[in-house]
Structure 1
Amino acid sequence: MEVKPSESAAGKFPFPFPPYPIQEQFMTELYHVLEAGKVGIFESPTGTGKSLSLICGSLSWLRDFEEKKRQEEALALSGGDTEKGESQVSEKLAPSTTQSSAEPEWITQFLHKKEEMDIKNKLKEDQIRRQKREERLQQMRHNVQLKFACKRKREEEEETMRLLQLSKQMLSGVDSPGLEQGEEELVLAEYESDEDTKKPTELDDEDDLEEEHVTKIYYCSRTHSQLSQFVHELQKSPFGKETRLVSLGSRQNMCVNDEVRRLGTVQLINDRCMEMQKSKHEKKGEEPEGKKKRGSRVTCPFYNYEQMLFLRDEVLVEVKDIEQLVSQAREVKACPYYATRYAIPAAQLVVLPYQMLLHDSTRRASGIKLKDQVVIIDEAHNLIDTITGIYSCQVTGAQLCQAHSQLAQYMERYRTRLKAKNLMYIKQILFLLEKFVVALGGNMKQNPNFQKVSQEGTSLKSINDFLFFSQVDNINLFKVQRYCMRSMISRKLFGFMEKFRGSEVGAPIKENQKPGGLQQFLQHLNQKSPAEAVGAPEDGGESSNTRSASPLMQIEGFLSALTNTNQDGRIIIQLQGTVAQSSLKFLMLNPAVHFAEVLKECRSVIIAGGTMQPVADFKQQLLASAGLSPDRIAEFSCGHVIPSENILPIVLCNGPTNQQLEFTYQKRDLPEMMDETGRILVNLSNVVPGGLVCFFPSYDYQKLILDHWEKTGQLKRLSAKKKIFQEPKKASQVEQVLSEYSRCIKLSSQSVGPVTGALLFSVVGGKMSEGINFSDDLGRCVVMVGMPFPNIRSPELQEKMSYLDKTLPKTNGVPAGKVLIENLCMKAVNQSIGRAIRHRGDYASIVLLDHRYSRPAILAKLPQWIRSSTEIKPTFGAAFAAVRKFFQMKKTNSTTSPP
């Protein structure tokens, strides 16, 4: 990385323009945290150039770190040949080898020479290791064809042995049904061992050829669009030309094979990709005589090793985002998914969604090695929820029954062709599925769509209690999970169902088995997609040609969850309507157990975001619970680049008629409270120019209050001043509503009339509260109605609170569970009110409608740049006057300032 060195390592940073003071502070602190190998929590509001600060600060550290290593290596190599080199090493060692005057001189010299030799030897070893890495890469390129030839030979031998066994079986007169064309691929291979040896990965064949990983930075964010924005910022930075960057993504985002992409779901794309790889290196035309080429063994034309190496080199030469990478991959006919994985070892900066890094098995399968590396997790305000969601899972009664039906018929058809161990594990899985349905109050002999649950409700159990309750405590779930992973039984089952879709699935059932019950249910499911059977979402569903994955794939995740430590999770048994609608859910209570490995392996971890307050959740639930000592945690929060006079945050305690504003569950539905809220908005609409965004705590309350205003005429009074828009429930309609909202504000600013902008009603935690920018006239005022506390009656939340109360200490005498509720509320508030101020010249007012916001403990959870300017107004008159004066001053400044 040949970026011009800065004058002072931690003081000056290459930047595309003169940085703001807060950006310099951010980069300096970031540099110190990386150098010290600490875990940092960094907060920098949107509009302050957080991405550029992360890029320039972290890559400046990486540049200096690499330069320091090069100098040490050069010093070690030259130190034995010249006196100058020896003197330099001596000076370097002097501080650490200086002894007290009481030490004999010969001891001092001996220790000095010993340390000198140790350092020289270590640096020489590093140099040799680097050279060996290059030699290994060359060897990999030369020997890969030989390796694939060996693999082909081994597969041919296995195929020959399998055909011989089949012949013997046929000659011995074993009664087994004849297989149709292509069915051989559906039969499970012999399962050899239960031992927990090295876990297989998708690239087992290439593991021994992998390069040594150089020191690098893994940058993670939530969505691919955020990652693309980061890459574009890097391209514009001083580091854009020389940084070796790799963008990682899922096969769903990176696959360039249109036939595979059409499958739609991630799991099906993954499975099809693996199937096509498996046959890539088989010799064409060598199949047994009379055997036609099987369609399931079609190879992927883009999985070309030489072309993927070529694309890998192209990736490392020039910074590209995923869209640019996929476009180039199509041109050179190479797979970008695997080319980027080959590029990871030599990359300096790896950009990826943080779900890919946080999920252990996905991280391993992607070839990511975190040992002594740096991880930066951006947009990390949802980090705890993300980890909890990744390791939580849910299965419905419909999925359990469908998987049982499919697997039972699979076993029936291939019973004589399956080895004893396969049959044993299939029977164990069938037993588990049957017991799970019984736990939901169901019976495997009946159709779950017609089985009513005896009593609706929700119950929670620890993992051990659930295993005893469902009577599966005698099954070794670790072995079952390992079998599912290694045998790939869910893939075989999916192929089996695909082959016989629309017909009587699998082999005929025994004569004495009556049709109906599960058979009737299975035929019913065959007429519908699995997604429809379980209950597909109303919005954002897949296209009609998209096939859904086998339900057993989802159930495998649940079985894996049951192997967690007893205290780290809970099983939620939810009974509702029918057995098919009821569900079993694993709730992860301790996300730190999975984050601990990242913290343990990495040199340094940076958790960054625009709004990180309140940070107590991160420190307690993620870091402290993972065993991180407080002295290794660093916090940094900077102000905004806007001047303080450009923001007016107000806590409003009373309305225009002196009604105290308290939107608790008991009081917020009162007619007088809803009337008071309407009066406040009508008054604000008279003085707020452009757009006014009003956030409600829930969709239900938004509907209730708007219906009330419709009856009382307040909605009509509001629409006389501002055109009213409402957040849509369907994600596909968000863009249209925002476009019309923006267009209305733009037109009203150019015309003279009674309507002066627009009013947008939104919901906290909805589609408008995150990721949407209400900059400039789109959001001159943000109103937060009440405090959006989560539903405390939720069984999941109650269990989480109980768990935290037991495991975490009190904060200022307040139990950890109650602190969690407040933090969840204020995190949602901070995300919503942060939508307005988006750049240095922007200005807006923020009005918090509830007297409870005036409590010191609640105020302390606001972002520092908002908290420092917040005014508490007991009466509406004082608040209204402050808002009117604020916008009058802004209007005066805009008309008097030079163009």
Structure 2
Amino acid sequence: MDEFDFDGDDEDDLMAATMSIDMDNKFNPITLGAINSCGRDKQFEKEKQVDLPKEFPFPFQPYDIQTDFMRNLYTCLELGKIGVFESPTGTGKSLSLICGALQWLRDLQEKQRQELQLLLQPNCKEDASAKADTELDWIQEFAAKKEQEQKMEKVKLEQEHIEKREAKLKELQNSSAVRKRKHKSHLESDFDSLISGASDDIKKACLKELSSLEKELETVCTDDHDEDLVVADYNSDAEEAGDGKEDEDNEEEHITKIYYCSRTHSQLSQFVREIMKSPFYEDVRVVSLGSRQNMCINPAVKKLKSLSLMNDRCLDLHKKKSKKNPGCIFRKEELLQAFKDKALLEVADIEQLVTSGRQMKACPYYGARRAVPLAEVVALPYNTLLHKKTREACNIKLEGSVVIVDEAHNLLETINNVHSVEITGAQIIKAHSQLSQYEHKFRPRLKAKNLLYVRQILFVLGKLSALVGGKVDFTADSQVNTRTEVCLVTINDFLFQGQLDNFNMFKLLRYCQRSQISRKLHGFVEKYPESEVKMVKRNESPPVSGLTKFLHEISSSKEKTINNETMPDVSQQTSQPTLSSPLMQIESFLDALTNADKNGRIVICKQTKVGQSSLKFLMLNPAVHFVSILQEARSVIVAGGTMQPVAEFKDQLFHAAGIPPSRILEFSCGHVIPGRQLLPVALAQGPTGTTLDFTFQSREKPLVSLLVKALLGFFGGTVSSPSLSLIAVGPGISMLGSLATISC
């Protein structure tokens, strides 16, 4: 080893130490990173005084608890905390969320503008040089100038981005192009009104022409060549080469936004309608996201019953574009751009977006996704937010933004359900049969690596089949288990039992994802339908013992009797599965097996018939999949009518994800009506002194009319006041219906 001379290093070491200390102080990211919440982790380390607005814009005078709700929400968002908000049904929770969050967003945008303008002022440039003069050190002066130049470059670049974005939005609002596009969107309704006055013959001819066009759409892309079914060359060693990310530099920059998440599409539509009632309706940009099942308008995709098949067919249409095959006609660039512009300019729910898409002949599903970067509010269902791969596919970027999860009382169960997967013996055996026939047909055209991985998948399918008591060489319907049993095992024990512990499941899943083998297999099954029902059979039946045969005959006779009386034929159910190729479902199950051993369990359920036996992965730790949302987002709000027990909610979702208690803010309120505005009255007797008994025994007595007279006599003319309401509570719907009829 060479010897080094350390003599004379004391001065250099002293200089280096000084540089280290000063540079640490200087190079903190104090510019726009803090504004955009890149420095979110430091926001909740030090509590700061939040400058709350004096009042929040609201469609009417808010009640005190609504004001408190918005103030706490604003504080939570400003400090980057995790909020648990509980507000009973009927207290205006949605409006409070909208007005509080959007007011914070408007204030944040104004702060960003002011900070940028402040940093661009000349006097800010003097700070670094003034400090350098006092230190009398040329190195420090150079470092200060360099830092200031980098800071100013970053600020100018951000200012340019904001100016371009605002100019683009103004252009969209004022340009005649938008008006022309709006005019074009009404062409279909104009055509309908035009044809309504035509003769029956013309109507029939037009409808016939339209139906023929729809049939052409349905048959598009059915003339695929076998080349589309063969998996492409695959190199498993090129780990860093194939991320699956394309043209990230060309993606539009995302602004800080609010992601609102709820359980159903109807709740999302209701939320959007609440935004329309708010004071922010005129200038807020709102986009609703949904599944292809709700937003696709292509008949060739819409006719498929399974969401998985719809997803694959849609991707196939987009990928297989050529001169002969134009792909999906609703995904033309010009149409999608026009739809995106309209979605950003007009607040619309999912149903309205689909209607606009049909009128403009543009895909609402992809058009809405394109509008996400510039949207200020994005409404999306649970599955899109909670499933990471779906979130990434939908262009959802949470960095610096706010996530609001409404109706969150069942959030724990929802996360577990989203990541729980079940497969049946019939699906396993069917997937093995289809993949075997695929491998047999295309073996000469498959590269060695592809052939190796296909055979590995076949091996895994065989082991999964054995775990439910089946053999892949026989049809699922022809195989029976001697006894039924249900057992719960850990992931590791399951892998050991199935002799799959020596497999690199991550590598196998990476191959499935990049080669798109399940999609290729689905195309193979569609083109050669006989592979869907033709199973690889041997001439002989599977060997069974005499006892097994006897038990099978007894169970068959019992099932036949039951089926004839109350149940449909099981054989018909198994011969018409939901998925034509179940490999994609099995891929999800294999993906679940990559979870940590403590985070889930496997239920092995053996039924009499192997086809009805199942393997189910149960997710037990929801925090594993929620932690990425908590880490990426600036702030996360979970709200609901009742969030109790909050302690269990925090332990399983927040504390398990490593969130400190100091970062969690709780807010709970009662009902919106103050006590002074509520007068409960129990009426025991009518005006004539008759007892008002509405029990079942007194149902024949004409007491309802007496009740109406009593109410009118008690309240007098006050019920006609527009500021007062009268609510009657009765023992049953029939009595209340009679009361309403007589009152009217």
TM-score, structure 1 as length reference:
0.58
Partner of residue 62, structure 1? 105
Contact 1:647 1:843 in 2 (8 A): no
Using the TM superposition, give the Cα deviation of residue 615 of structure 1 relative to its aligned residue in structure 2, in angstroms.
1.1
Q: Which moved more, 1:335-344 or 1:218-227?
A: 335-344
Which SS does the other structure have where 1:449 is aligned?
Answer: helix
Using the TM superposition, give the Cα deviation of residue 207 of structure 1 relative to its aligned residue in structure 2, in angstroms.
3.1
Match of 1:234, as an amino acid?
I
Report whether the alignment pairs 1:283 with 2:293. Answer: no
Using the TM superposition, give the Cα deviation of residue 505 of structure 1 relative to its aligned residue in structure 2, in angstroms.
6.5
Partner of residue 332, structure 1? 360
Q: Which moved more, 1:382-391 or 1:634-643?
A: 634-643
Partner of residue 262, structure 1? 303
Using the TM superposition, give the Cα deviation of residue 446 of structure 1 relative to its aligned residue in structure 2, in angstroms.
3.4
Report whether the alignment pairs 1:347 with 2:388. Answer: no
Report whether the alignment pairs 1:274 with 2:315. Answer: yes
Partner of residue 395, structure 1? 423
User: CA separation of 1:205/1:124 partners in 2, compared to 1, >3 Å: closer, same or farther?
Assistant: closer
- 1:103-154: CA deviations, max 9, x gaps? x994799999999996896465134135258879999xxxxxxxxxxxxxxx
Report whether the alignment pairs 1:550 with 2:581. Answer: yes
User: CA separation of 1:576/1:108 partners in 2, compared to 1, >3 Å: closer, same or farther?
Assistant: farther
RMSD: 4.1
Which SS does the other structure have where 2:489 is aligned?
Answer: strand
Partner of residue 628, structure 2? 597
Q: Which has the higher helix share?
A: 2
Contact 2:287 2:343 in 1 (8 A): yes
Which SS does the other structure have where 1:490 is aligned?
Answer: helix
Which SS does the other structure have where 2:667 is aligned?
Answer: strand
Using the TM superposition, give the Cα deviation of residue 182 of structure 1 relative to its aligned residue in structure 2, in angstroms.
3.0
- 1:190-238: CA deviations, max 9, x gaps? 223344436655xx54533101111111111111100111101101111
Contact 1:214 1:348 in 2 (8 A): yes
Partner of residue 590, structure 2? 559
Using the TM superposition, give the Cα deviation of residue 509 of structure 1 relative to its aligned residue in structure 2, in angstroms.
7.2
Q: 1:443 aligns with which of 459, 468, 471?
A: 471
Which SS does the other structure have where 2:236 is aligned?
Answer: coil
Q: Distance in 1 between matches of 2:66 and 2:136?
A: 46
Q: Distance in 1 between matches of 2:296 and 2:72?
A: 39
Q: 1:568 aligns with which of 599, 604, 619?
A: 599
- 1:685-706: CA deviations, max 9, x gaps? x9897xxxxxxxxxxxxxxxxx
Partner of residue 128, structure 1? 157
Q: 2:251 aligns with which of 203, 210, 218?
A: 210
Match of 1:283, as an amino acid?
K
Partner of residue 405, structure 2? 377
Contact 1:463 1:569 in 2 (8 A): yes
Partner of residue 422, structure 1? 450
Q: 1:366 aligns with which of 394, 399, 410?
A: 394
Using the TM superposition, give the Cα deviation of residue 498 of structure 1 relative to its aligned residue in structure 2, in angstroms.
2.0
Partner of residue 306, structure 1? 334
Which SS does the other structure have where 1:364 is aligned?
Answer: helix
Which SS does the other structure have where 2:653 is aligned?
Answer: helix
- 1:414-452: CA deviations, max 9, x gaps? 111111111111111111111111112223333332433
User: CA separation of 1:63/1:365 partners in 2, compared to 1, >3 Å: closer, same or farther?
Assistant: same
Q: Distance in 2 between matches of 1:621 and 1:632?
A: 16
Contact 1:137 1:211 in 2 (8 A): no
Contact 1:642 1:841 in 2 (8 A): no
Q: Distance in 2 between matches of 1:199 and 1:250?
A: 27
Partner of residue 183, structure 1? 226
Using the TM superposition, give the Cα deviation of residue 841 of structure 1 relative to its aligned residue in structure 2, in angstroms.
6.7
- 1:503-539: CA deviations, max 9, x gaps? 7868x979xx647669xxxxxxxxxxxx9979969xx
Match of 1:601, as an amino acid?
E
Contact 1:412 1:509 in 2 (8 A): no
Contact 2:477 2:571 in 1 (8 A): no
User: CA separation of 1:635/1:299 partners in 2, compared to 1, >3 Å: closer, same or farther?
Assistant: same
User: CA separation of 1:549/1:48 partners in 2, compared to 1, >3 Å: closer, same or farther?
Assistant: farther
Using the TM superposition, give the Cα deviation of residue 278 of structure 1 relative to its aligned residue in structure 2, in angstroms.
1.1
Q: 1:633 aligns with which of 664, 667, 690?
A: 664
User: CA separation of 1:207/1:465 partners in 2, compared to 1, >3 Å: closer, same or farther?
Assistant: same
Q: Distance in 1 between matches of 2:679 and 2:399?
A: 44
Partner of residue 41, structure 1? 84
User: CA separation of 1:185/1:240 partners in 2, compared to 1, >3 Å: closer, same or farther?
Assistant: same
User: CA separation of 1:196/1:136 partners in 2, compared to 1, >3 Å: closer, same or farther?
Assistant: farther
Report whether the alignment pairs 1:615 with 2:655. Answer: no
Which SS does the other structure have where 2:330 is aligned?
Answer: coil
Match of 1:129, as an amino acid?
E
Match of 2:424, as an amino acid?
T
User: CA separation of 1:184/1:118 partners in 2, compared to 1, >3 Å: closer, same or farther?
Assistant: closer
Q: Deviating runs (4+, > 4 A) in structure 1?
A: 104-121, 132-139, 198-201, 502-506, 515-518, 531-537, 643-648, 686-689, 720-723, 748-753, 839-845
Q: Distance in 1 between matches of 2:463 and 2:96?
A: 54
Match of 1:551, as an amino acid?
P
Match of 1:244, as an amino acid?
R
Using the TM superposition, give the Cα deviation of residue 342 of structure 1 relative to its aligned residue in structure 2, in angstroms.
1.5
Using the TM superposition, give the Cα deviation of residue 325 of structure 1 relative to its aligned residue in structure 2, in angstroms.
1.2
Match of 2:272, as an amino acid?
V
Partner of residue 12, structure 1? 55
Contact 2:386 2:626 in 1 (8 A): yes
TM-score, structure 2 as length reference:
0.70
Q: Distance in 1 between matches of 2:407 and 2:225?
A: 47
Using the TM superposition, give the Cα deviation of residue 341 of structure 1 relative to its aligned residue in structure 2, in angstroms.
1.5
Q: Distance in 1 between matches of 2:166 and 2:501?
A: 49
User: CA separation of 1:187/1:112 partners in 2, compared to 1, >3 Å: closer, same or farther?
Assistant: closer
User: CA separation of 1:688/1:129 partners in 2, compared to 1, >3 Å: closer, same or farther?
Assistant: farther
Using the TM superposition, give the Cα deviation of residue 346 of structure 1 relative to its aligned residue in structure 2, in angstroms.
1.1
Partner of residue 667, structure 1? none
* Superposition map of 1:595-744 within 5 A: 595-643=626-674
Gaps of 5+ in 1: 1-6, 91-96, 98-103, 140-179, 285-296, 519-530, 538-543, 649-685, 690-716, 724-747, 754-838, 846-882, 885-889
User: CA separation of 1:267/1:502 partners in 2, compared to 1, >3 Å: closer, same or farther?
Assistant: same
Contact 1:136 1:209 in 2 (8 A): no
Q: Distance in 2 between matches of 1:647 and 1:477?
A: 65
User: CA separation of 1:380/1:262 partners in 2, compared to 1, >3 Å: closer, same or farther?
Assistant: same
Which SS does the other structure have where 2:671 is aligned?
Answer: coil
Contact 1:263 1:547 in 2 (8 A): no
Which SS does the other structure have where 2:329 is aligned?
Answer: coil
* Superposition map of 1:402-551 within 5 A: 402-502=430-530, 514=539, 548-551=579-582
Q: 1:73 aligns with which of 97, 103, 116?
A: 116
